[in-house]
Amino acid sequence: MRGLNTRGVGGHASLEEQQQNLMALQDSSQTEDYIKALHENTLSFYQKWVNSRLDKSKLEEELTPQINCRVCWESDEHETFLTLCRCKGTSAHIHRSCLEKWLAKSDTSHCEICGYSYNIIRTPRYNVRESIPIWLKRGAHRDLLFDAISFFAFAPLAVVSTYLGVVVSLHHFDLGDSVEVDMPRSHMVTAGVLGLMLTLDYSFMLWLFTRVRHHRLRWYLWWRRHSVVKVVVPLQTSYGEMVEDGNKEGCTLK
């Protein structure tokens, strides 16, 4: 009986060990299956990612540098680019509308980078009579108002001083024949009055001429910059012929 119990106990122990070994094998097989499935999913994900990155159209879009207009920095989605001047790279591309606006605002007819002269037609938007009231209404011309007030304030003074200077000079000349008046002193007073009168009149006229010229130049620049500019694009078959024809034609300003 003692031997049977020992074998029974021994047999029971061996059965538990077999069950534990079987569970360990099952756990290891499940772990291997999980690792294998995870590996397959990871490999599939990376394959899809690589295929999407190696897509020809997407790859071309990423490798192709984006070209923008050098004025507005927009693409050619709504308007095609012009390459009229000698600039290279991204600076060579510009929208026609942007180029015309820039030439009108800057009052120039050449490229600011390479100096190429565009063939343009500049047409004033307003005539002279229409432009002056519009210029006075749109701009902030405080200095013009100040100069107008100064003119109406100093012009009567200049007229009165000139009149008094002439009267005083004639009076001293009339008194020159009198014995009681000292001739050298009378001539000195007359010369001094005339010199002061001429100095005041010259200063006033110089100031008036300078201010009128200043405001005329401001109006003229505004009038030019509000013109309508049209760029004449020459017909060509290559970029080199375009530049050559543009240099031959030059710039047309109207």
Tell me the backbone φ, ψ of residue 94, rounded to 5 degrees: -155, 145
Q: How far apart are CA 84 and CA 70, in angstroms?
A: 13
What is the C-alpha to C-alpha distance for residues 229 and 139, in angstroms, rounded to an integer? Answer: 22
d(C-alpha 67, C-alpha 94), whole Å: 10
User: Which residue, 72, 84, 89, 207, is CA-closest to 148?
Assistant: 207
Residue range 81-125+228-249 in CATH 3.60.20: no
Read off the pTM. Answer: 0.54
Length of the chain in residues, anyone? Answer: 254
pLDDT per residue of the chain (254 residues) written in tens, 0 to 9: 444 444 444 444 455 665 565 565 555 666 666 566 666 777 777 677 666 665 555 555 555 567 788 888 777 677 788 888 888 877 788 888 888 888 888 888 888 888 888 888 888 888 888 888 888 887 657 778 888 898 999 898 888 888 888 887 777 666 555 545 555 666 777 778 788 888 888 999 999 999 999 989 988 888 888 888 888 887 653 344 444 444 444 444 34
Integer Cα distance of 80 and 99 in angstroms: 12
pLDDT at 71: 80
pLDDT of residue 139: 65
Answer yes or no: are the C-beta atoms of 172 and 189 closer than 8 Å.
yes
Q: What is the pLDDT of residue 65?
A: 62
pLDDT at site 211 = 92
CA 86 to centroid of chain Cα atoms: 20
- pLDDT for the residue numbered 152: 92
Per-domain boundaries in the chain: 2-53, 81-125+228-249, 128-225
What b/e sequence results for 2-17 when a residue is b if at least 16 CB atoms lie within 10 Å of its CB, and e otherwise? eeeeeeeeeeeeeeee
227 is written with which tokens? 């013109």
pLDDT of residue 249: 40
From CA 172, how far away is CA 214, in angstroms rounded? Answer: 41
What pLDDT, on a 0 to 100 scale, did the predictor assign at position 239?
Answer: 41
